[in-house]
Structure formats: structure tokens, C-alpha cells
Structure 1
Amino acid sequence: MNVLVFNVGSTTLKFACVDTSSGKRLTEGLIDRIGQPGGDAGDHLSAAKAALDQHRSLSVDAIGHRIVQGGAMFQTPALVTPSVIADLRTLDSFAPLHNPPARSVVEAIDEMKTGLGQVLVFDTAFFATLAPAAYRYAIPESVYVDHGVRRYGAHGTSHRFVTKHAIEYLSKRQPALASNARIVSLHLGGGASATASVGGVAVDTSMGMTPLEGLVMATRSGDIDPSVPLHLIRNAGMTADQVDRLLNKSSGLLGLCGDCDMRSILNRRDEGDDAASLAIDIYIHRLVKMIGGYVAEMGGVDALIFTAGVGENSAEIRRLATERLQHLGIKINASANQSGLSTDAVTDISDSGAAAKTLIVRTNEELEIAVQTAFIVG
């Protein structure tokens, strides 16, 4: 089946047409700076039409959409219907940068009457297996029930994909691990998250009600004292919207050193830049603490996965993140780490004597979305 996958951002629309029988991408592209001066499209409706126009010569069987936030109501992929769209609209506030533009594309295509089935694949769905101890916050029951304040996670489509491939790799070597492999997966890109899973079932994750919680990211602060926003509103005269922008768009690596490109920051650190060095130190400190906590929670670890832009491509970040984890059985081979990704689905960079495997797995969210879409439509 040929599935056209849409991955919508606040000002972008990435697309790829995937042949689910072979896993190959037939097309891929990006419509950028939507709604901005000089951008590729005036709005997301125009962008969706342009993407569809590019595929008129292809036989497209269905459309799959990446949706960041599915809340508690969407724990599996959903075929688009009027009621599903109405339910999706209620989740806009949980992911205000991602859900509304993605929903607008879904609605636009629905109004076009293309005859193609549309399927929503939710980043949060992988975390539907979390126990209340992992997803509840220590707040009154009424706030949880009435306002949906709980951990939902994010990047679940990526974590599901790389974990599945890691288990396939491990089970060929140790069949007993197929059903109980304890894995920590690290999705390290502009956004960054960590997930703990056992036998492919998520048991904890670092992102919370929104994608702001957890690790240090390119422009997001990650974990922070909840009183900080209140302090800034009460004592610095900032509005709630200003604090929102501060923590989501002006913090993280960008806030620490004025740069959010990991390659540039590492180069600056090597040249003696103190701000860049501090940014890397904080990034790694938070990462190591999260990994250690998940290993303790699972009672051990069988594999550590690096994926996404930084995780797949930065040998230095992988080295720094693992060098303090040898007491947990995690040790990498320096040469294999430096060589990085191979052409295989999974690249093993573990030291031969390590108790746990350290793996690089190239994520492919588009393929995962296409496969889930084909299953629902089929």
C-alpha cells in the first residue's frame, strides 16, 4: 500500500509517500515557512493542496498524519471521521504548537473529498501502557479528572519504531530477551526525550503533559521548578504567554549559550567557549541522571538506544553520555562509536565486554506511521 504521510509543524509540512510493502520512500519533501513572508505557502490548507498535487501521478491509497497529542481519548490510531475531528479539536491546548496546524491539514483534506482514508497516528499512544504511578502527578484528583493534568509523553512513534527494531536485533542473539528486554531509548534531536520500556512496552518517559518536561532540548528548558513561572509572573512582571515563550522557545541550549545547533556548540566548546561547555555539561548531566533513574526503575538494562538527529550523528554526545554508565554495564567501543551508523537497521557500538548493548537505530517515523495507517485502512 502507498501511504502519503504528513508530519505538520507550526510553520512546516513534511511529507513522504511510503510503500509499506517494501518500506521505501517513493517521494519526500518539505513545505517551509508556512504563513510567513517569502514562505512556500500562505497557510496549511494551501500547503496540503500543494503536497497532494505533487502526488497526482502516484497511486496513493491512504493518508497518515502524525499527531503529537492524543490525550487519554486516543490510545490507538484513529480513522478520521467528523466525531474524531471534533474530539481532536479539544486537545489543541495540550500541544498548541503542533496539534492545531496538524488538525487544520486533516480538516482541509477531509473537505476536499479525495476519497482517501485518513488515519491519525498519535505520538502519545505508545505511552498508553504507563501505570498510574508513572503518569500521575502529585496533585489533587479533581485537577487530574477535570483538566486532564497528567503525563502523556511525546516522540512515541519514534520510540516505538526504534525499540521494536532493537528487540528484533537482541532476540536474534538472545531469544529470551524478545519478551522482556529492558531498554532505555533516547530520542535526541531538537526536542529530546527518554523512554524506559520492558519487552517493547513503555513503562516511563521523560516528557510530561506537554513536550516541555524532561531533558534539556534545543530551545526548551526541560525539567524546572514549577515555581519558576510563578516567580517570573509575580516578580519579573512577565505575562503567562511571555513565560511560555521563554521556556519553550528561548531556553534549553539556546538559552544557555545562544546557540541550539549541537555541532556548533561542540565546536565552540572545543575552542574553549565557557558558555558552550556549560551547555554541554548540563545537557549530559540531565541525560545521565534520566538514564540512571530508568535503569533503577527497571532493575537493570539490556540495551541503550540512541536515535534522532543528535543521537544518530554525534559520536561525542554518545561518548559523554555513556562514559559515566560503565557501572551499569553500559560501555561503548570507541572505534565503532566514531564510525557511527552503518547501513544496517541497527548499529551496535557496544564494547565486547559490556553487559548491556548500546545501539544506534535510525528512526523512521514516516514508515511507522505508514504501517499503522495501512493496518487501520486495510
Structure 2
Amino acid sequence: MNVLVVNVGSTTLKYACIDTQRRERLTEGLIDRIGQDGGDAPDHMTAVQDALQKHADIEFTAIGHRVVQGGDRFTEPTRVTDQVRSDMVELDPLAPLHNPPARRVIDHIATTSASIPQVLVFDTAYFSTLPPVAYRYAVPDSVYVDHGVRKYGMHGTSHQYVTGLALDHLAAQGIDRTSAKVITLHLGGGASATASIGGRAIDTSMGLTPLEGLVMATRCGDIDPSVPIYLMRTAGWTVDQVERVLIKESGLLGLCGQADMRRALEAATDDDESAKLAIDIYVRRLHKYVGSYFAVLGGLDALVFTAGIGENSAEIRRRVVEPLHHLGLRMDLPVNAWAKPDVQTIDLSSDDATVRTLVVPTDEEWAIARQTADLIDGR
């Protein structure tokens, strides 16, 4: 089955056509700076139409969409119907930068290419198993019920995919996959941590929005909730100013002027004190989440690194793992230094480790294509 995977961002549209029987990418591309001066397309509808026309020689059996926010309503891959399209409108306020353009693309395809079935795969779906003790905030019940203020989580497709591969690795070593305790660290421009038992998520670091949790490229992660109120009252900032600073000007960029971890590490090597501090804060936040999830899980079988930084930065992996010897994590430093995963899980653990340290390459497009094919085939 040929599945076209569509990943709509606020100003981008990434796509890949995947033969799910052979797990082969037939084509892929990026349409960038949508709606901006000099951009590749004036709007997302034009962008997806360009992608479809460019590869008109490929017969698509189905189209699978990555949708950031599914709320409480969509907890599994969902085939697009008129009712589903109508229901999605109500989710726009939960992801105002991502869900509306994704929905417009879905509507456009339903109107112009109605014969091609569409499937929605939600970033939040993997976290539908979170218990209330994990997803509820300590706010009045009316705030939760009337406004949907709760933890939803993000990067769920990635966390679910790499957790499954980690469980395969652990099972091969004789560990019962149904009860295996895994912490996954999705470390890219956006970053999140998830704790799972037997492939079911029980906690995650991102919250109502992708701003909560770890330090990221340009997002601050956890801060005192009063900071925005303080800035609005004392500095006269508007809501838009606060949002821009916390989402687009904070994180690594705000701390040291470098949003790219590679550049930050280079600057730290050259004795840039702000870069050193930024990396220390980044790693400390990771330690706080790993430690708290270790406590919540009641132990740990594997710590998993994935995504751009997690897969490619041996230095960040070393800085995270080495101070955690007391938790049973011990790393084979030479293996860590050369490990450059492609599609294979790599075990970085030393012989005396009681908790495995793994690098598992993520492949969200393949995960979406597989879930789409399974739904269409009735599996």
C-alpha cells in the first residue's frame, strides 16, 4: 500500500510517500515558508495540491495526516468523515498554530480528491492512557471541564514508536515486555520525556501545549506560572509579547543565542560561559524529569534517546547518563562516541549496567504510514 504522509506545520508542509509493504520511501519533500514573502506556496491548500500534482504518477492508496492535537475526543487513528471534520473545529483553540492549517488541508483533499481515504494520526493519542493523577492540573474543576485545561502531551507518535522498539530489544534480553519500564527522551528542536510501562504511557512532560517541560531550542519549558502575569503587570507586555518570548525567544536561544545544540556545544568548547550555562540547564532539566519518572515508575529497565539531538549528540547523552550511576545507568563511552544510528537500535550500556541506555532512531512518517495502512486494511 502506498501511503502519502502529510505533516502540516504553521508555515510548512512536509510529505513522504511510503510503500508500507516494502517500507520504502518513494518520495518526500518540504514546502516551506507557506504564506510568507518568497515562500513556496501562498497557502497550505495550494501546497498540498502542488505535492499531489508533482507526484501524480504515484497511485496513493491512502493519505495519513499527522495532527498535533486530538484532545479528549480522538485517542486512536481515525478515518476522515464529515462528522470528524466538523468535530476537529472544536480543537483549534488547543493548537492554534498547527490544527487549523492541518484541518484546512484535510478539508481541501476531501473536497478535491474525495476518492482517496484519509486517516488522522494524533500526536496526543499515545497519552490517552495517562491516569487523571498525571493529566490533571491543580486548578478548579470548572477550568478543566469547561475549558479542557489538562495535560495532553506531544510527540506521542514518536514516543510510541521508539518505546515499541525498546521493548523489542528488552524482550530479546529476557525482560517481560508487558511490564517493562521505559523512559523515552525525544530531544530535537522540541523536546519531551515520557514514562511508559509495557508500552502504555503513564506520564509525559509536555502539557496543555508544547511549552511545558524540558528546555528546548526556543521554548523555555517549565517556569513559574506567575512569570507571564509578572511581565504583563510590571513590564507592560502584551499577551502576544509574552507568548513570542516564551515560545520563540527562550530555551537555548534565550540563554546563549544559539537555538542549535551543535552550535551551543561548539561555543561551550570555546569557553562561552553563556553556552556552558545553557547546556547545564538543559541537562539539569533532563535529570529532574528522569529522576521523577524513575520514582513514578518504581524503577527503570531502559532510558531511550531519540530525535535529532538524542540520536546524534554523544556529548549530551554522556552528560545525561554519567551522573545517574546511582540509578543503575552506566554507559560504554567508546560505543557512545561512535554510535550513529540509522534504523537500528543501539545499546550504549556497559557490562555492569542494570538499566539499559538505548538510542532508537525515530521515524514518525513510517509510524503514521503503518497506522494508516492498518486502519484502512481493518487491522
List, as ranges, runs of 4+ consecutive aligned residues in structure 1 with deviation greater than 3 Å. none
Work out whether residues 5 and 65 of structure 2, in 8 Å CA contact, stay in contact via their aligned partners in 1.
yes
Give 1:97 shift.
1.8
CA distance in 1, matches of 2:172, 2:129: 26
Task: Give, as a single letter, the amino acid of the residue that structure 2 aligns with 1:143.
Answer: V
CA distance in 2, matches of 1:101, 1:45: 9
Corresponding residue for residue 358 of structure 2: 359
Corresponding residue for residue 73 of structure 2: 73
Corresponding residue for residue 23 of structure 2: 23
CA distance in 1, matches of 2:170, 2:325: 20
Corresponding residue for residue 274 of structure 2: 275
Task: Give, as a single letter, the amino acid of the residue that structure 2 aligns with 1:189.
Answer: G
Corresponding residue for residue 150 of structure 1: 150
CA distance in 2, matches of 1:18, 1:352: 38
Q: How does 1:97-116 map to 2 (within 5 A)?
A: 97-116=97-116
Structure 2 unmatched runs, 5+: none
Give 1:345 shift.
2.1
Corresponding residue for residue 173 of structure 2: 173
What are the Cα deviations for residues 188-224 of structure 1, in whole angstroms up to 9, with x where unaligned? Answer: 0000000000000000000001100000000101001
Give 1:376 shift.
1.5
- Tell me the TM-score normalized by structure 2: 0.98
What are the Cα deviations for residues 129-177 of structure 1, in whole angstroms up to 9, with x where unaligned? Answer: 0000000000111110111000000000000000001101110111x42
Q: How does 1:1-378 map to 2 (within 5 A)?
A: 1-174=1-174, 176-343=175-342, 345-378=344-377
Give the 3 Å change call, closer, same or farther, for CA 344–230 of structure 1 in structure 2. Answer: closer
- Tell me the TM-score normalized by structure 1: 0.98
CA distance in 2, matches of 1:17, 1:155: 21
Work out whether residues 311 and 341 of structure 2, in 8 Å CA contact, stay in contact via their aligned partners in 1.
no
CA distance in 1, matches of 2:91, 2:242: 21
Task: Give, as a single letter, the amino acid of the residue that structure 2 aligns with 1:172.
Answer: A
What are the Cα deviations for residues 15-40 of structure 1, in whole angstroms up to 9, with x where unaligned? Answer: 00111112221111111111111111
Indicate the SS of the match to 2:7: strand
Task: Give, as a single letter, the amino acid of the residue that structure 2 aligns with 1:50.
Answer: D
**Aligned CA-pair RMSD:** 0.9
Indicate the SS of the match to 1:177: coil
CA distance in 1, matches of 2:128, 2:117: 24
CA distance in 1, matches of 2:34, 2:343: 35
Give 1:344 shift.
5.1
Indicate the SS of the match to 2:164: helix
CA distance in 1, matches of 2:338, 2:114: 46
CA distance in 2, matches of 1:230, 1:344: 45
Give the 3 Å change call, closer, same or farther, for CA 117–185 of structure 1 in structure 2. Answer: same
CA distance in 2, matches of 1:311, 1:372: 24
Task: Give, as a single letter, the amino acid of the residue that structure 2 aligns with 1:301.
Answer: L
CA distance in 1, matches of 2:243, 2:130: 27
Task: Give, as a single letter, the amino acid of the residue that structure 2 aligns with 1:41.
Answer: A
How many corresponding residue pairs?
Answer: 377
CA distance in 2, matches of 1:347, 1:94: 36
Indicate the SS of the match to 1:91: helix
What are the Cα deviations for residues 92-151 of structure 1, in whole angstroms up to 9, with x where unaligned? Answer: 111122111111111111111341000110000000000000000001111101110000
Judge which range, 268-277 or 84-93, deviates more. 84-93
Work out whether residues 343 and 361 of structure 2, in 8 Å CA contact, stay in contact via their aligned partners in 1.
no
Judge which range, 278-287 or 30-39, deviates more. 30-39
Task: Give, as a single letter, the amino acid of the residue that structure 1 aligns with 2:111.
Answer: E
Work out whether residues 13 and 32 of structure 1, in 8 Å CA contact, stay in contact via their aligned partners in 2.
yes
Task: Give, as a single letter, the amino acid of the residue that structure 2 aligns with 1:317.
Answer: I
Work out whether residues 64 and 369 of structure 2, in 8 Å CA contact, stay in contact via their aligned partners in 1.
yes
Give 1:288 shift.
0.7
CA distance in 1, matches of 2:148, 2:170: 37
CA distance in 1, matches of 2:259, 2:312: 15
Work out whether residues 164 and 199 of structure 2, in 8 Å CA contact, stay in contact via their aligned partners in 1.
yes
